[in-house]
Amino acid sequence: ERKRREAEAAKLRKLQEEIEEEEMEKLKKIREEQDRERKRREAEAAKLRKLQEEMERERRKREEEERRRKQEAEERRLLAEMEERRKREEEAERKRLEEEERQRMKQIEADRLIAEKLEGEERERE
């Protein structure tokens, strides 16, 4: 009876050890699967971060390009304004010079007429 009980206890111990080994193996597999899943999630997160960074760079690039286009358009507008103002000033100066020339010519003509009149009067007196 004692030997039978000891043999049964030994079988139970062996069975318990086998069960524990199986449980340890299952736990090991679960941990490995969890580790693989964690690594996969980390890789996905890294890809997502990289994609977001790329999108942010593209957004900044587009914004910078838009700022540059607006600045260039403003510079062109200002240059056009300056050119228009210069043309108006040149036209005004040209008209002023023409008017001065007309006035000078009138004055020369008036002086000539006065001189002719004075010469005529001078001849009459002689």
Q: For the segment 97-123, what is each residue's pLDDT rounded down to a tens digit?
A: 999 999 999 999 999 999 999 999 999
| Residue 8: pLDDT band with limits 50, 70, 90 | very high
What the block records as the tokens of 76 is 């062109």
Calculate the alpha carbon distances from 116 to 73, 112, 121 in Å. 64, 6, 9
pTM, two decimals, is: 0.49
pLDDT at 30 over 90: yes
| pLDDT at res. 10 | 96
Q: What is the mean pLDDT of the chain?
A: 97
- pLDDT for the residue numbered 126: 82
